[in-house]
Amino acid sequence: MANEETMRIGEVTERTSLSLRTLRHWEDAGLVSPSARTEGNFRLYTETDVERLLIIRRMKPLGYTLDEMRELLDVVDALAVTPDDALLRARLNEVREGAALRREKLTEHLAMADEFVGLLARL
């Protein structure tokens, strides 16, 4: 982190389209934490932190719980240390397959919503 540029929480909210409240909630839930703090105790985030937030943000519409998010992030963190771990890779594949199924369901729900909007337009 010593050479990595940091940004304050306001810039992170702009870059991620997340609210301050959401960032703080995810921090309280243990999903993310700022890489540093200023002397005035302001949160400082790195590009790596932003990438992690975007992973979490992308999981949200698929209905992942905070615990499920934390589990996946633990796998991602562990793979960063031991990228060839077969058990971790297997778990990541399970999550990938589950995400594909969740996406399929979301697509079905979107199609139903489109039908409903079309129905309303004809009334």
Per residue in 88-113, pLDDT (tens digit) is 999 999 999 999 999 999 999 999 99
Check residue 41 and give left, alpha or beta (phi > 0: left; psi -120 to 50: alpha).
Answer: left
pTM: 0.85
List, in order, residues 6 or more apart from 99 with CB less than 8 Å away: 59, 62
Confidence of residue 4 (pLDDT cuts 50, 70, 90): confident
Report residue 43: phi and psi, to 5°.
-70, 140
Euclidean distance between CA atoms 95 and 27, whole angstroms: 22
pLDDT (mean) for 17-39: 95
Q: Which fold has domain 7-122?
A: Multidrug-efflux Transporter Regulator; Chain: A; Domain 2 (1.10.1660)
Sign of torsion, CA 7 9 15 16?
A: positive
Domain boundaries, the chain: 7-122
